[in-house]
């Protein structure tokens, strides 16, 4: 029969491994967010103003533990992003075609992130 000390030791080991997984998950999310923002900067259309759309994107981290999320958004040009991404009909009736740059970046980086998270989960499970 296991003693209370053994039980306490096992719980503390599981907590330590959980903290390791949390830090690894943070790193994966940060790396993916920076990769997506970098890709957006490479592919976003450049307008005529001095304040370019590509320079307005940032990442906002929310949540704790396994409920973490990262939102990537435009700090100053949020009202224009969907028009460029999906296209629109101008007031004059002229169609302005879509120039997608957000979705391709996400589709490129999300599968990589998913694989890294799966690998981190397997590694954490193997440590127990």
pLDDT tens figures, 29-39: 999 999 999 99
Per-residue pLDDT tens digits for 44-78: 888 766 568 888 899 999 987 778 889 999 998 88
Rounded distance between C-alpha atoms, residue 128 and residue 20, angstroms: 12
Give the C-alpha separation, 98 to 31, whole Å: 28
**Whole-model pTM?**
0.77
Write 71-78 long-range contacts (CB < 8 A, 24+). Answer: 72/33, 72/36, 72/37, 72/40, 76/51, 77/51, 77/53
Query: Between residues 13 and 87, which one has the greater pLDDT?
Result: 87
Q: Can you list the positions of beta strands (E) in 75-121?
A: 88-89, 95-96
Q: What is the mean pLDDT of residues 95-116?
A: 92
Query: pLDDT at position 1, please?
Result: 53
Residue 90 burial by CB count (10 A; 0-12/13-18/19+): exposed, middle or buried?
exposed
* pLDDT averaged over every residue in the chain: 84
């Amino acid at each position: 029969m296991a003693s209370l000390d053994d039980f306490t030791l096992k719980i503390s080991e599981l907590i330590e491994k959980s903290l390791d997984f949390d830090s690894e998950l943070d790193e994966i999310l940060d790396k993916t967010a920076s990769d997506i923002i970098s890709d957006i900067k490479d592919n976003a259309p450049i307008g005529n103003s001095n304040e370019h759309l590509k320079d307005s994107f940032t990442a906002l981290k929310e949540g704790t533990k396994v409920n973490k999320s990262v939102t990537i958004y435009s700090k100053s040009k949020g009202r224009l992003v969907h028009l460029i991404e999906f296209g629109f009909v101008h007031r004059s009736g002229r169609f302005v075609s879509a120039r997608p740059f957000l979705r391709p970046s996400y589709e490129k980086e999300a599968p990589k992130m998913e694989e890294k998270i799966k690998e981190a989960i397997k590694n954490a499970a193997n440590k127990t």
